[in-house]
Structure 1
Amino acid sequence: MDSETGMRLLTTAVEAGSFSAAGRQLGLAPSSVSRQINGLEDKLGVRLLNRSTRKLSLTEAGLIYYQRAKQVLADIEEANLAVTKLGASPTGSLRVTAPVAFGRLHIAPAIPEFVARHPEVSVDLILTDNIIDLIEAGIDLAVRIAELKDSSLIARKLANNNRVVCGSPDYFRKHGVPTTPTELERHNCLLYKQTGHQDTWRFRCEDGMKEIRVSGNLQCNNAEALLAAALNGLGIVLLSSWMVQSDIASGRLVQILPDYTASPSALDTAIYAVFSHNRHLSPKVRAFVDFLVERYASRTEWDIPPVVRPGLVEAS
């Protein structure tokens, strides 16, 4: 008798409460169940069950073996299902949540391609900057930009979340171009307000970390509003490269301080696909996660800081 068969016999007998009931479930004679469990005990060299005319009960060793056997059998089932589902077609409604700006700029434009690949999936996209409890809200997957803390959720990294300090050519023509982080203290800096007033920008360079207190005449809890203000020449912003890269490439914005790694907080963040720990991950979730990894892992333009083009900021 192999180990898996022994584990199934024992767990069935324990949960059924008797050899007779276990035999009915397994299609075996009670005497066959009893004989095979006796053989398992002989093989292990310990007694697993206390037998009486009325019921079965686990010994101390039996309880340990039963608990481990349940886990092993569950793992075997999961492995079998995982292989089986590799060929299953994604179907049904997929509920996805993402931050407002990233969702509008990068998730929503990707959905037509995903649906074209998987026409039997419909997507329910929820854009919010609030952290939603995935299980409570019935969400299949979340895109989050954060430093993830330990939790029961599973995360796959999609891309880095590099930040860029930038402003419009018009602003720099009028007020000059800061060449060191310290010079930002004399400029109008537009502040992202999330939990409190985030007026400290941090810069990592070869000689360590610099913290700069910045100030300005606009603070907002929406990054796209700050971007609009910067494009119109109001001040300097510190935003994610995935948000400003196209404006920098077109010349509508100019990156400054490219030799520094900048962040509005002390946290190192990245862009993740996050989903609940489900022993049997559905094909639709697996397909969407793989799609996002494929789509965003190659976005090298988010990782390579554009250089300052002096011609854009020369005085007129």
Structure 2
Amino acid sequence: AISQQLRKLEEDIGQQLVNRNSRHLSLTEAGRIYYRTSKELLATAQQGQQEIDALLQSPSGELRILAPEGFGGGLLSKPLRQLLQSSERISVAVTLGEGYDDIVASGADLALGFTPVDKEGFKSYQLATWSQVLCVAQSHPLSTESLSHPEQLKEHPFIVYDHLPAHELSGPDDERYLLAHPKLSVNSMQALIQFTVDGLGFAVLPQKEVQHYLANGELVELLPDWQLPDYQVFAVVANYPTMSVKTRQAIELLESYFTIL
């Protein structure tokens, strides 16, 4: 059977690989080249399999993360520090932007965002539920006004993130009020936060991304008796049969950290 397979191989490549006589077999020059390169290919394949197995057994390799701009302000620092300390064999590449990019085309292992991806081939993991806050700069006249109803905001400029041009407030006795008709919209959450800090108007902002401004007094919360809906944070991954340890560990660390923020 082996001799038949060898002859078939010689026919396929068009070269004699073995010199044969009644007592001995020896490699031809073509046979020696074929044997050497085959060994190299086998060794490379075995090494590749070992590296792939390592991805599934311990955190290793580069973890690529896509995240909204606001996550660059410190929200990722602690979980990424813990992830990097968990293994010397792992590195992280973070790309910041607005919204989800194509996870597969970009080569990312996971993407962070505020909506789940309802598409075949992707899986979404809810990491946390965060609150929003209606606020204005301490330097803005609104910060010192005595407000009891959102109607009183009409005389002042409302600035928004252009993906969310309107927000519904819930007040006492289940009253609802729609904040709409902005004077200024922008396609970057970080720009919206900066515009608000600079006193261009009032805005609805993610509480986690502006908590330091609220703590140091640069921003002031408006109408605290009126509530805004919460929003969710998701990790989205390509739905492959297996998930690497580095990706799974990153999701677990992010969920643990974001939940207690």
**Which TM-score applies when normalising by structure 1?**
0.59
Answering whether residue 194 of structure 2 is matched by residue 232 of structure 1, we say no
Aligned equivalent of 1:273, options 232, 235, 248:
235
Aligned equivalent of 2:256, options 271, 281, 294:
294
Answering whether residue 109 of structure 2 is matched by residue 140 of structure 1, we say yes
Q: Which deviations, in whole Å up to 9, do the C-alpha atoms of 1:50-80 show, x marking residues without a partner?
A: xxxxxxxxxxxxxxxxxxxxxxxxxxxxxxx
Task: Find the counterpart in structure 1 of residue 177 from structure 2.
Answer: 210
Residue 179 (structure 1) shift: 2.3
Whole-Å separation in 2 of the counterparts to 1:253 and 1:271: 23
Residue 118 (structure 1) shift: 2.2
Gap change, CA 1:287 and 1:147, over 3 Å in 2:
closer
- SS in structure 2 at match of 1:165: strand
After superposing on structure 2, the runs of 4+ consecutive aligned residues of structure 1 that deviate more than 6 Å are 84-87
RMSD: 2.6
Q: Note if contact 1:164-1:262 (Cα within 8 Å) is conserved in structure 2.
A: yes
Matches within 5 A, 1:1-316: 88-108=57-77, 110-146=79-115, 148-149=117-118, 151-172=120-141, 176-194=145-163, 198=165, 200-205=166-171, 206-216=173-183, 218-262=184-228, 269-299=231-261
Gap change, CA 1:212 and 1:174, over 3 Å in 2:
closer
Which amino acid is the alignment partner of residue 125 of structure 1? Answer: V
Gap change, CA 1:175 and 1:214, over 3 Å in 2:
farther
Q: Note if contact 1:94-1:123 (Cα within 8 Å) is conserved in structure 2.
A: yes
Gap change, CA 1:147 and 1:258, over 3 Å in 2:
farther
Whole-Å separation in 1 of the counterparts to 2:68 and 2:201: 24
Q: Which deviations, in whole Å up to 9, do the C-alpha atoms of 1:121-176 show, x marking residues without a partner?
A: 11111111142121222211111112553643222222213210001222136772
Q: Which deviations, in whole Å up to 9, do the C-alpha atoms of 1:74-103 show, x marking residues without a partner?
A: xxxxxxxxxx99992211111111011123
Which amino acid is the alignment partner of residue 126 of structure 1? Answer: T
Q: Which moved more, 1:275-284 or 1:166-175?
A: 166-175
- SS in structure 2 at match of 1:194: coil
Gap change, CA 1:213 and 1:250, over 3 Å in 2:
same
Which amino acid is the alignment partner of residue 240 of structure 2? Answer: N
Q: Which runs of 5+ in 2 are unaligned?
A: 1-52
Gap change, CA 1:143 and 1:176, over 3 Å in 2:
same
**Which TM-score applies when normalising by structure 2?**
0.70
Q: Note if contact 2:69-2:189 (Cα within 8 Å) is conserved in structure 1.
A: no
Whole-Å separation in 2 of the counterparts to 1:232 and 1:277: 42
Whole-Å separation in 2 of the counterparts to 1:137 and 1:245: 32
Q: Which runs of 5+ in 1 are unaligned?
A: 1-83, 300-316
Q: Which deviations, in whole Å up to 9, do the C-alpha atoms of 1:174-231 show, x marking residues without a partner?
A: 7724321222222121222238xx2x32112342532133433x32111222222222
Q: Note if contact 1:182-1:212 (Cα within 8 Å) is conserved in structure 2.
A: no
- SS in structure 2 at match of 1:280: coil
Q: Note if contact 1:185-1:214 (Cα within 8 Å) is conserved in structure 2.
A: no
Gap change, CA 1:181 and 1:174, over 3 Å in 2:
closer
Q: Percent identity?
A: 25
Q: Note if contact 1:185-1:213 (Cα within 8 Å) is conserved in structure 2.
A: no
Whole-Å separation in 2 of the counterparts to 1:87 and 1:136: 22
Whole-Å separation in 2 of the counterparts to 1:105 and 1:271: 16
Gap change, CA 1:232 and 1:177, over 3 Å in 2:
farther
Residue 119 (structure 1) shift: 2.0
Which amino acid is the alignment partner of residue 98 of structure 1? Answer: A
- SS in structure 1 at match of 2:114: strand
